[in-house]
Structure 1
Amino acid sequence: MIRHLREHLLAPRALAGYRPGVTLGHLLRNLGSLQVQQQGSTTAELRDPAQGWCAELRECVQAHLLMHVVTCEVSLRVPALQQGAMRLELRHTGALRRTGVTAVYRSGDKACFAQVREQLLADAPLLAALMPLDFKRLTLECSHGQWRLVLEHMGGSEVVNRMPAFRRYIQVSPPQRGHLLACLARFSQLLPHL
């Protein structure tokens, strides 16, 4: 009896008010006329045949006290020339206003990181796409001969509160859509040559 009660209380439960796939659907409408293939209720594949890239969109849920936030991650995979393993994060610099972009070492080969950082931060088209892009997180990981970019935009997310009860979707604006697609296109061209 006690064991059953403990298992019931500690079992993971679905978040109240979470609607799987709804936020992803809103984001896909924001992104416009790209080729989309739904893979599940919370994942989709996004293609831009003109630019030649393919990315995966995945809905993520973060639980907080009396609320939850649903975000969407964009994941891009491309082949890598190098065989070493390395992980870095790109961030905006500046306290009140954006003044640039910097790369932060997370793990792996430091010499490889220094070379990649130099090439990324010297690429003018990439910086032109990244500077106005409103992103929360942008990580690059190289392992097993493959680059993986994971980008979480500030838009394309939904905040759901239980008390007081409200639900708000934060859309990706048309200018942000352009910056996001330009960023994905530039990374897909640049990363295979690093």
Structure 2
Amino acid sequence: MRIQTSHRSYQYEDSRNPGLLIGITDERGVRFATWSYDDSGRAVSSQHSGGAGLTQIAYNADGSSSVTNELGKTTVYRYQQIDGVKRIIAIDGEPSPNCPASNSTYTYNDRGLVLTKTDAKGLVTNYDYNDRGFEISRTEASGTTLARTTTTEWDPNRFLPIKVIEPNRITVYSYDNQGRELSRQSTSR
């Protein structure tokens, strides 16, 4: 099936997965993006014209997935079910000549909110949340002399920050009754 627009056409021609987009053809009739899927409807590749930006995804028997980018670097994503949602708990990606290491690990609370993230250099970021699940504190490089904490105060009734305190500045926000930002004032610390 093809859907024509005045500028582009979108292809949904995979008989196994007729609702999934498999290609986009531009105004000149040139196919510039292509996706493919496995029998379960999971994406297994994405690329632009001529193979540019080729990304391939493999779904491993242990439940992890491996993503290989156009430069040949493979990154493995490991997951855990937390509160009924599949969450990333580790990213394993060794450095290559063209790509830096992308190793990270994550821990979560029982609500599925990130508590810690450890990056490829071993630096830990700690997160804290209010009862509504909004981030109220983030400390990067926790436990080191490089530690940086950002705190956020939230509107008591809406998902809108009213004050953000960063290491070098404080920003205060105000909103109208519809939640549209009226002002933003930043001062250096």
TM-score, with structure 1 as normaliser? 0.23
Structure with greater contact order relative to length (CA < 8 Å, sep ≥ 6): 1
Whichever structure has more helix as a proportion of its residues is 1
TM-score, normalising length from structure 2?
0.23
- Which structure dedicates a bigger proportion of its chain to strand? 2
